[in-house]
Each structure stands twice: as C-alpha cells, then as structure tokens.
Amino acid sequence: MFDFVAFIPRAVAQGVPLMLGSTGETLTQKSGNLNLGLPGVMYVGAICGVIGSFMYETSGVVMNGFLAVAIPVICSLFGSLLMGLLYCFLTVTLRANQNVTGLAMTTFGVGFGNFFGGSLIRLTDTEVPSISLSATSAYFKATLPFADELGWFGSIFLSYGALTYIAIIIALGCSYFLKRTRSGLNLRAVGEDPATADAAGINVTSYKYKATCIGCMIAGLGGLYYVMDYSSGIWSNDAFGDRGWLAIALVIFTMWRPAVGVLASFLFGGLYILYLFIPSGTNLAVKELYKMLPYLVTIAVLIIVSLKKSRENQPPEHLGLSYFREER
C-alpha cells in the first residue's frame, strides 16, 4: 500500500520553498510586475542566510538559539530585499522590459549564490563540495517536543520546523491582505489598470515597489528554508535546482490565490517527489517522466483557465507592462 505517513511529510517539506516563493511572486504579480528573477532572488536569499550563519557558527562564540535563527533570517531578508529593489529600480523607475530584467536577475542571482557558495566551500577546506551548518539547522528544524509521541498524527501535522508554519501564516495573511483590506484592493487595482488607479489617487510607483520588495523577501525566505530545514543546513552549488521556476508555475496553478497555494504547494511537492514512491522496479527511466508531472499539470491549468475565460481567474490585466503616466 502507498505509504502516506512517510510521503506527506516529505511532500510538505518539498512544498514549503515553493509556497513561500509563489506567495511572494503572487504579491509581486498582483502589482503588475512579472518577476522572472524569482529563481535568482531565492538563490540570493538562501546564500545570504548561509553566509550569515556561517560567519556566526565559525566565529567561535557560544551559540545562542535566538541569534542562530535571527542572523540568517535577517541576512536572507536583506539580500532578497536588495534584489527586489534592483528589480523595481530597473522596471518601475527606469521602465525596462520586465522579462529581460527578470532573466538577467536570474543569471546574476544564481551566479551570486554559486560563487559565494563555492568560495565558502573553499574556506572550509573539506573534501566534500558542500557547506554543512548542522548547528544552525538544528535550531531551524526544532519541532514541538511531544510531536514524536503522537504517532501518525504527529508525523503528518507536527513534525515540521517553525518556518513551515510561518510560511502557511504568511500565505494566509497575504490572501487576507489581497482580498479584504483597502491596501490590498489598491494593489490589485494597480496591477489591473495602473492608469485608473493613478487617477483615483493611488501612488502606483510606491505600491509597485512595496509589493515587489516584500514579495522578494518572502521568496528569499523560501530559499533559506530550503537550505536550513529541507537539506539540513547543507549548501551545495546548484542543489536548489529549478524550484524557482516551479514556484512561478505554482502562481498560475493557484490562479493568483495565496491561500490555495498552501495546499497546492504540498500537491506540487508531492508531484515533485512522487517518483521516489512509485514502485517502478529497475526501470529508472520512467522516474524521469514522473518528474514532468508538475509542469504538465501547470500547462493543463494554464490552458483550462484560458478556455474558460472566467473573469476572476485571469492574470492581472497589466502584468508584464511598465506604466508611464504620460503615455496613455
């Protein structure tokens, strides 16, 4: 029988970086910015956290639980904030093409991550090509003390580190913000029709900046989660892989709804690792085909959404276009 108790926690762990990434990207896209630099932002978020905690772990002071978590989190937020500012400066202030800027940011961010990752690996002088921050990771992975005693219930619902629950809260919070608050409404207006929003007295530039920067910071946390929790504090170059693109896929899959993203990201996480749980015997090749599933599902959703043409489920009207007041 299919082993759900083993499968679900792994699907969730796989899904959390995607959830954070897609929540951040949803917020960004709602402001009309299609940030294809997301993979780069997540890399930068991850490596900044790693640099921070590497400095702290090797500084020789006795580790304090609070600082061990706070330092990487702050470094990660700061790194991804800078990436967000860069993206906004180029696309909003200088009105550059969003796709090109995003792709350049991905090149830069992935390069940045691998470069500093590689340099730190050299500093540690180890044989294996990775950095291990197990002490910091232990703090990130700390679970409730009684989780182990609750059997299957414990392992499905309570076996995760704090960042998992924080990710869910952020996603639900974003959903509430977008749907139920005045600022959320304004933000959606900016993404749908910036000229009208501008005429209504909404500061388009400020909304775009804030949404994109906060979105990038949330996405950066996704990168941090991947290193600190999912891979137990081990950074190796290119290990993060194509999760950034998958997070963008998830935005479409959830049709710009962060609350749906919570479950959808677990589903994607499950699809991502399904091949490990499918008994395929010695036929390794088929497993590669299973890895296609998340992308195929996204394509299917994309097609269905465009077929149905329902007005709620469309991308923000002004997605991918920059706004200039004097060009109507």
Partner 1 sequence: MNNGKVRVPLVHISRRSALPWYKAWAIRGIAIVLALIVCGILTTLLTGEDPIQIYISMLDGAFGTSRRIWVLLQNIAILLCVSLALTPAFKMRFWNIGGEGQILAGCLATAACMICLDEVLPNWLLIAVMLVASLLAGGIWGLIPAFFKAKWNTNETLFTLMMNYVAIQLVAFFIIIWESPVGSGNVGIINQQSQAGWLPMIGTNRYMLNVLIVAVITVLMYVYLKYTKHGYEISVVGESERTARYVGIKVERVIMRTMLISGALCGLAGFLLVAGTDHTITTTISDNRGFTAVMVSWLAKFSPIFMVFATFLIVFLDRGASEIASDFGLNEAFGDILTGVILFFIIGCEFFITYQLHFRGRHAKEAAENV
Which residues contribute to the site for partner 1 (CB under 8 A)?
34, 36, 86, 89-90, 94-97, 99-101, 103-115, 118-119, 122, 237, 242, 245, 248-249, 252, 284-286, 288-289, 291-292, 295-296, 298-299, 302-303, 305-307, 309, 315, 320, 324, 326-327
Q: Of 136 and 322, which CB lies nearer to partner 1 in the complex structure?
A: 322
Using CA atoms, how far residue 116 sits from 51, 179, 229, 240, in Å, is 8, 39, 20, 14
Contact 223, 240 (CB under 8 A): yes
The residues near 221 (Cβ < 8 Å, ≥ 6 apart) are 20, 45, 73, 76, 77, 80, 163, 166, 167, 170
Q: Of 105 and 168, which CB lies nearer to partner 1 in the complex structure?
A: 105
The residues near 7 (Cβ < 8 Å, ≥ 6 apart) are 270, 273, 277
Q: What value, to the nearest 5°, has the Cα angle with vertex 223 and ends 272 and 158?
A: 65
Q: Of 151 and 282, which CB lies nearer to partner 1 in the complex structure?
A: 282
Tokens of 125: 């002088």
The residues near 102 (Cβ < 8 Å, ≥ 6 apart) are 34, 35, 36, 37, 38, 87
Phi, psi of 238 (to 5 degrees): 65, 5
CB atoms within 10 A of CB 47: 30
137 vs 130: CA distance, rounded Å: 14
Q: Of 106 and 164, which CB lies nearer to partner 1 in the complex structure?
A: 106
223 vs 275: CA distance, rounded Å: 23
According to DSSP, residue 280 is labeled: -
Shortest distance (Å) from residue 105 CB to partner 1: 7
Count of alpha carbons within 13 Å of 296, Cβ hemisphere only? 7
Q: Of 141 and 208, which CB lies nearer to partner 1 in the complex structure?
A: 208
Shortest distance (Å) from residue 94 CB to partner 1: 4
Q: Of 184 and 220, which CB lies nearer to partner 1 in the complex structure?
A: 220
Q: The tokens 């540690």 sit on which residue?
A: 124
Q: Over the Cα atoms of the chain, what is R_g?
A: 20
Q: Which helix (H) or strand (E) holds 61?
A: none
Q: Of 113 and 261, which CB lies nearer to partner 1 in the complex structure?
A: 113
Q: Of 69 and 86, which CB lies nearer to partner 1 in the complex structure?
A: 86
